[in-house]
């Protein structure tokens, strides 16, 4: 006879995590982690509680990506989430989640690759994005979540530590992804989570990042111009900005580019990774439509 859904749900709360416990749970239910889906199950109750505390899910509609065996899912529901829409690509885990949480109507498990669907078919605004993201989809998920409507109200994400540090970096260590995320959201690195906090343990540490999503500051057309400019700049991120943009956008003309840089106070020998979001916005406005 199978276990009651309520008993199975309680097995993986913050009080009952740990490598041995999670390994035993996976064996009992015939589940193994698939490397191609970057499945690393959280086994650190303190880290789990930190995600939930940052998410403040009570009374909120939550979109969760990559719920796995439902460790974070259960914690969000237990903390009073109004609803959780969990998107899982692994059909074995979809079936498991639906059985484990069968008594809770607040949970909807969607069997799909989140990158292949329109978010509006999954959830309506306002909602929050809370997830222990598979490493290999972090960048495309962030581009989809922030660049396409509906956008979350706020987000709390577990990501690879290096990515989290890059996303939240001040000028000097910026990347295209940093500029993209910081344009759309006010984010900070909340906590470093060591590799030993997962089963199986990944090769690198993770980090929890979180923050509020900002209102769009530009029209869709002006955003497209901004991202075209930023992408051009970061194709050679360690070269001088004037030289990079002259090569990547040759139709701009060196004189027009030099005048625009001077007008917004950006030295021509600056490197792209040293220019803030506000600097890129100002430069894009000064240049106007790109040829």
Do 83 and 158 lie in a common domain? yes
Neighbours of 108 (CB within 10 A): 14
pLDDT tens column, 149-177: 999 999 999 999 999 999 999 999 999 99
Q: Are residues 199 and 236 in the same domain?
A: no
Percentages of the chain per state (helix, strand, coil), in multiples of 5:
50, 20, 35
Both 93 and 119 in one domain: the answer is yes
Domain that holds residue 201: 5-213
Whether 1 shows a pLDDT value over 70: the answer reads no
Residue 209, domain CATH:
3.40.50.150
**Of the candidates 213, 241, 270, which is a domain's last residue?**
213
Report the DSSP pairing between strands 154-160 and 128-132: parallel
pLDDT tens-digit profile of 181-238? 999 999 999 999 999 999 889 999 999 999 999 999 999 999 999 999 999 999 998 8
Q: Give the count of beta carbons closer than 10 Å to the beta carbon of residue 238.
A: 9
Nearest by Cα to 62 from 156, 160, 187, 133: 156
- pTM value is 0.91
Q: Are residues 95 and 184 in the same domain?
A: yes
| 17 shares its domain with 156 | yes
- Nearest to residue 40, comparing CAs of 200, 188, 155? 200
CATH classification at residue 278: 1.10.8.100
- The answer to whether residues 156 and 82 belong to one domain is yes
Count of domains for the chain: 2
- Asked whether residue 138 falls in the same domain as residue 117, the answer is yes
């Amino acid at each position: 006879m199978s276990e009651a859904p309520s008993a199975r749900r309680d097995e993986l709360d913050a009080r009952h995590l740990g490598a041995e416990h999670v390994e035993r749970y996976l064996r009992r239910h015939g589940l193994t982690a698939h490397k191609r889906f970057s499945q690393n199950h959280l086994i650190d109750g303190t880290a789990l509680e930190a995600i939930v505390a940052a998410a403040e899910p009570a009374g909120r509609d939550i979109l969760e990506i990559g719920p796995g065996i439902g460790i974070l899912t259960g914690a969000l529901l237990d903390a009073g989430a109004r609803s959780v829409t969990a998107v899982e690509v692994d059909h074995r885990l979809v079936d498991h989640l639906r059985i484990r949480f069968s008594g809770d109507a607040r949970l909807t498990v969607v069997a799909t690759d989140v990158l292949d669907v329109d978010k509006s078919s999954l959830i309506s605004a306002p909602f929050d994005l809370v997830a222990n993201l598979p490493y290999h989809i972090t960048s495309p998920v962030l581009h989809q979540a922030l660049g396409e409507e509906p956008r979350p109200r706020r987000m709390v994400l577990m990501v690879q530590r290096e990515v989290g540090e890059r996303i939240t970096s001040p000028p000097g260590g910026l990347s295209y992804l940093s500029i993209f995320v910081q344009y759309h959201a006010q984010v900070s690195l909340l906590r470093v989570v060591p590799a030993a906090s997962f089963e199986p343990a990944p090769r690198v540490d993770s980090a929890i990042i979180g923050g509020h999503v900002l209102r769009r500051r530009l029209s869709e057309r002006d955003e497209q111009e901004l991202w075209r400019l930023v992408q051009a700049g970061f194709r050679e991120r360690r070269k001088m900005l004037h030289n990079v943009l002259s090569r990547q956008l040759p139709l701009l003309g060196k004189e027009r580019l030099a005048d625009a840089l001077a007008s917004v106070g950006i030295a021509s020998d600056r490197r792209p990774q040293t220019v803030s979001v506000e600097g890129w916005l100002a430069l894009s406005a000064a240049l106007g439509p790109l040829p």
